[in-house]
Amino acid sequence: MVDEDFKGTRLRRFRVDVGTIICAVALVQSLLLVAFGYWAAERLVSRLGTAAHKINHDRVEDSVLAFLAKTEAAIRAIADSPSVHVCGEDGEQTAEMLWTLLEQTPEIDSINVATDHGHVLMAVRYPVPAIRQVLRADGFSTETWHYKDSPDRDGGDAKQRFATTSISAYRSDFDPEKRTWYLEAMKAKGPVWTQPFMMSDSQELAVGHARPSARADDEGHRRGLVVDANVSLGHLSRLVGAFGAQGHGESALMSSDHHVIARSDHPDPVRELESPDSGVLGAIHAHMLSVSTAGGADDQAFSIEHEGSRYLVQTSHLPHTRWQLVSWEPEELLLGGLQRSVLWSLALTVSFLALALIISLRLSKLVTGPIENLSRIARRIGRLELDDLPIEPSRVLEVQHLNQALDESARSLKAFSKFVPVDIIRQLVAEGHALGPSGSPKRITAMFTDVEGFTSISESMPAEVLVRQLTEYFNLAAGIFARHGGVIDKFMGDGIMVLWGAPTELEDAEYRACLAAIELHAEMNALNEKWRAEGLQEFRTRVGIHTGHVIAGVLGSSNRLSYTAIGDAINAASRIEGANKELGTRTLISEATFEGLGGRLATRRIEELAELRGRQTRMVLYELLQIEHQPG
């Protein structure tokens, strides 16, 4: 017997082709394993080598970035401090803060604070540990050195470590406005890692991280301030030297102007700025210049030949510094053992070809059967038949994932159906409605409900109690309306708008709506008795029903739609519900709805023509009497 879900010839052919395709793939796969096994293994080995090299490269990069971030954080903390001063009583407190940060960051050689007056306060590690104060005057500077014990010394309390061992003072020509770190920070108007420069005290190449900071002085004048930390290139060389300890290669740091600022292939730190022109680093630099990637912001991975050896190369750009980290590793040392293993693996591959073919055939059966069953489940989900969907167990991971995805889709649609009635969705899909605003004229019966005195009720009870009562009330009402063919259009606070005859045509809509109203009052009486026993307030529901022509369909904006009905009949039904308050009734129906009843339910004509709020013409209304009724 042909499955109803797969009557189409195209689906049937596709189902048969799946098994055939899997068998063909298995056979072709076996042939390819023999023909291209070595090629695939070589590529795998190359990727493994590249990955291993990149891991070592990333470790060095992480170490450098961590060091840079630590330095940047220290300088930012000083620059953001509200009481940084170079001289005076606050200058002593600033000196203590600079010294403490110098102790905590052994990679930093000096921390400097310079003002636009030309005054400088420094905490220096080399050539001797000291607090150095420079006060600038016309044409000269007065330097005062407060010599300290080594900031790297352990033990003792903080006050002892900061104690001054001796003091010296003299005149000099030191001018911070001529220093590289000061000039680049003022030019950048923001934090900057400087180009390498020669430190005047230690006569060693260094880089600095400088950050300008503006603030008001005691007279309220806005003054400039630059905070800087200097790091010798020797520290950076020790960081990049970690690559050789973790692998078989070397690494180097290049500045944006193509100078080497740190390298692990030389035992000594960089003493002079120069471009690499020899060795492996020179070959790498020449290659990067030829392809215009030297100093670029993109990470690169490539290989080069140098003096008969092949090297794997990784480069990465260090943010905020304009530096480039370059690492290289001999391919033979990294991959030689793996390549020899490939030859043995290739020999074993032939032995497993027959086994692979058998497994592939078996897999075809494990895949096609569950997929066919999952297709049936997907068709049921497409028809919004979301209850009691079967679970398709399978040992195939992808089939399990597909099964889980379909289950999640069904649960999501089930949750969505609580907001949009399933009948509406099915009707729109069956009629082929486009997902855009549309509507058509229909004759419907509309009902509006409202809870009498809800405002005062809501003000007199806790929110959680009110929500629980509303939920019970809405659940009861929704069940009644569904039994009588009504579709809830929307919930409006304590009110409900219900349609009979949209989206699907419905015979005897007036009679069904009135029966629903009578049953709602009867069921509410029982619910109110339960609430009274619990000490809760009762809900008295008022109902208005009207029959007429409306425009019903998908209405709203282009990206947010809702199925609803609009027109005078809707407005009239809402006004009829509101008339209950003035007339002291609980259920009012219009004359059009009354005529549709054909006398099957007890009603009472309201003798006076009712004046409805917002309408110029009065209407004939009938009260639907609340009597026991069992539909036949």
Rounded-to-integer distance, Cα 378 and Cα 370, Å:
12
- For domain 436-624, give its CATH number from 3.90.950.20, 3.30.70.1230, 3.50.50.60, 3.30.2040.10: 3.30.70.1230
Q: Which two tokens stand for residue 155?
A: 């033990």
Report pLDDT for 63: 81
Q: Which residues contact 506 (CB under 8 A, 6 or more apart)?
A: 485, 500, 512
pLDDT for the residue 558: 60
Each residue of 166-188: pLDDT tens digit?
A: 999 888 888 877 888 888 888 88
Q: Where are the domains of the chain?
A: 17-280+304-383, 384-417, 436-624
Give me the pLDDT at residue 429, please. 57
CB distance 140 to 171 below 8 Å: yes
So what's the pLDDT on residue 629? Answer: 44
Q: What is the pLDDT of residue 6?
A: 47
The SS3 of residue 191 is coil
The beta strand positions in 458-602, using DSSP E, are 487-492, 495-500, 541-556, 561-566, 587-590
Say if CB 177 and CB 118 are below 8 A apart: yes
pLDDT of residue 15: 46
Q: Pick the closest to residue 283 from 313, 255, 256, 263 (CA basis).
A: 313
User: What are the φ and ψ backbone dihedral angles of 387, each rounded to 5 degrees?
Assistant: -90, 145
CATH class of 17-280+304-383: alpha beta
Where the chain has pLDDT below 50, the residues are 1-2, 6-15, 17, 629-632
- What burial letters (b/e) apply to 458-488, b meaning 16+ CB within 10 Å? beeeeeeebeebbeebeebbbebbeebbbbb
Same fold, 17-280+304-383 and 436-624: no
Write a three-state SS string for 129-155.
CEEEEEEEECCEEEEEEEEECCCCCCC
CA distance 212 to 462: 56
**For the chain, how many helices (H) and strands (E)?**
16, 24
pLDDT the model gives residue 276? 81
Buried b (16+ CB within 10 A) or exposed e, 132-165: bbbbbeeeebebbbbebeebeeeeeeeeebbeee
